[in-house]
Structure 1
């Protein structure tokens, strides 16, 4: 491999990333190759440029969402003895076209703009109550008090899971995403914990359906076959891990920017109609997901000779800081003109929950501006960022005058 394609970066534990994740992403966007190989985490490719990610996201023939093909997976499942524990295959995200559409279609209506707009009232009421609960204290741990319970509560209610077990669910998701053990058996064991904690609810919704996602999925068919417990567990694991982590980090990153830019807070309080555009620029400047892809065959891609089975990480935070797509990408400019951000991905696997995420982020910023005075970071509690497939601060300590 050419030395020019090797760049030392650990997306889980890079020291500069843990100090300031998006400064490190900007550094990589400026100084690393658009496609490079890192020896960290067992060695893998990282696609950092906007063009590389945009192209690979649409090329599911070469860049698969699964380390093994759908056909090979079916052979493995068929070969297992009766009663054997099956590996979890989070659906539909693990499948590539055409199977991907079969498993994604049942969710399209549930996550449509119309369906998400119907949740606005509940989301605003919840956001307001969480902010009001800390307003008189003059400070808060933002993730714990607001950015975690807001999207997680919304998701649990959509899914039909008991909201009072929120802390237990969230801890399981953190355990899964923070683990450095990527062995398939270890991953299956962690996902088994996630499935087990939902088991009683899944069975209950099968026997007594209600107006929630689990009940809806039980009514679906796949390739002409009725849904099985295995199908529902695979769905549940995917939606559970995605729904309980991503937006939490997006909100925390937005709070950091607002807390360090009092002039933006003042502008948004005076002109709340600018919040929607601000949300989009937040998503670009502080993109937080790093989804993996796997080479389906040997392939030369933008000058890099890749081998079947190798991982290629879609480094979305760097893609949204690519100067060839976004002039002066480090500048926060809500009036920025040009191409839309790629924070929700591209191609057939573009984020299913993007409509919900936008609504939650917009409403949160609206309520923060309406209900809190000017807030700032607590200087005695510095930020520490976590890496992995979703980036964000571990906690954001805010203060304001009361």
Structure 2
């Protein structure tokens, strides 16, 4: 079992009742059964609490508190440090060091954020997502065909990884045959960015940009129907696109596109595997899959965006100081009994379906429409093509955690 991260001293301004010992990455109960541990947090910890683990940070698990913090971008900044401080730090770096890409626009706050997010809106619109349904369905069927006669598979490696990742690589204009290499790179990137080692995180951003650099440069002179080509044709405030900004955009899109939907698929299929009656119901009435997909997103939200406290403030009745870190623990907000009646229950006809799985406010997930289409199509084809499937009794699902509660494996069986 992995050791917990070291505990740091509690700052003087934080009262004992605000402190709850929780390791976002290595908590054993979280890695054994993630959302049961999240429900335990909601029972035992305040809606906003401070943990001495992971370098010491605030975590917001309550729905109203998270909603408030997500929308208040002046107080809770997406920038890891103030822009002036970042610029000063970059200026001090040796001139012969490679440039460090900055994930754009997710590390920006309004109004700058909107200006740089705008060029991507059309690519991830509802219409653009719907236009991909046939291709997504064909790919899902192709992946199911490879395992259907085996009677079992690790769902993550066999279907959940290659499906959304292949779709996204094609959208970006990156070669799908490099899928395995890119997935290793994403895991390495996320492993480094969940530590406090700024040098390691910066070097990983450079490594990710370098992995795409050949394709980025090629699309400048040979544009195609892909996101990289679209970005090269984009102007920001009348200024033409630069290679530096291309790297910034592509690092963000690469990380976001190659890791998140996989886990939504994993939690959804895991729930279906544990509930044969729900499988039967959705097979008999596939028109309910759209509603089921939304309730699964609420029941098993899995992303944890980070914010920097940009000015002294209060949240959840506690004093947060400028420069502290706040984790927006979305899995907690979507299981908060103050917002959802019997939140642990999966209810197809739940009256309040307004989950925050894709985030809230200006940083709401840009790829939400595409993710919804991918999830719905996956559930449709798994239920249509496979007989009733169940969790493999001889092999447990395994997880890792950090800024995403993520699957390593999900072994399934069917007859």
Q: Distance in 1 between matches of 2:211 and 2:86?
A: 25
Q: In the alignment, is the contact (CA less than 8 A) between 1:64 and 1:296 conserved in 2?
A: yes
Paired residues for 1:209-248 under 5 Å: 209-248=223-262
Paired residues for 1:98-247 under 5 Å: 98-179=111-192, 180-247=194-261
* TM-score, length basis structure 2: 0.94
**Which residue, 311, 314, 321 being the options, matches 2:335?**
321
How large is the Cα RMSD of the aligned pairs? 1.3
Q: Distance in 2 between matches of 1:344 and 1:24?
A: 21
Q: Distance in 2 between matches of 1:178 and 1:73?
A: 22
**TM-aligned CA deviation for residue 82 of structure 1:** 5.2
Paired residues for 1:228-307 under 5 Å: 228-307=242-321
Would the alpha carbon gap of residues 208 and 83 (structure 1) be closer, same or farther in structure 2, given more than 3 Å must change? farther
Q: Which residue of 1 aligns with 2:104?
A: 91
Q: In the alignment, is the contact (CA less than 8 A) between 1:289 and 1:317 conserved in 2?
A: yes
Q: Distance in 2 between matches of 1:208 and 1:83?
A: 30
Establish whether residue 22 from structure 1 lines up as the match of residue 22 from structure 2: no
Q: Distance in 1 between matches of 2:196 and 2:241?
A: 29
Q: Which residue of 2 aligns with 1:386?
A: 400
Q: In the alignment, is the contact (CA less than 8 A) between 2:75 and 2:311 conserved in 1?
A: yes
Task: Say which is worse superposed, 216-225 or 55-64, in terms of deviation.
Answer: 216-225
Q: Which residue of 2 aligns with 1:38?
A: 51
Q: Which residue of 1 aligns with 2:9?
A: none
Would the alpha carbon gap of residues 247 and 26 (structure 1) be closer, same or farther in structure 2, given more than 3 Å must change? same
Q: In the alignment, is the contact (CA less than 8 A) between 1:67 and 1:295 conserved in 2?
A: no
Q: Distance in 1 between matches of 2:94 and 2:241?
A: 21
Q: Which residue of 1 aligns with 2:63?
A: 50
**SS of 2:268's equivalent?**
helix
Give deviations 1:291-328, integer Å, cap 9, x for gaps.
10001122222311111111100000000000010010
Paired residues for 1:334-373 under 5 Å: 334-373=348-387
**SS of 1:129's equivalent?**
helix
Q: Which residue of 2 aligns with 1:311?
A: 325
Q: In the alignment, is the contact (CA less than 8 A) between 2:157 and 2:409 conserved in 1?
A: yes
Q: In the alignment, is the contact (CA less than 8 A) between 2:20 and 2:51 conserved in 1?
A: yes
The runs of 5 or more residues in structure 2 that have no matched partner are 1-13
- Kindly indicate whether structure 1 or structure 2 has the higher relative contact order, using CA contacts under 8 Å at least 6 residues apart: 1
Q: In the alignment, is the contact (CA less than 8 A) between 1:195 and 1:233 conserved in 2?
A: yes
Would the alpha carbon gap of residues 185 and 121 (structure 1) be closer, same or farther in structure 2, given more than 3 Å must change? same
Give deviations 1:118-141, integer Å, cap 9, x for gaps.
111100110111111111110011
Q: In the alignment, is the contact (CA less than 8 A) between 1:376 and 1:400 conserved in 2?
A: yes
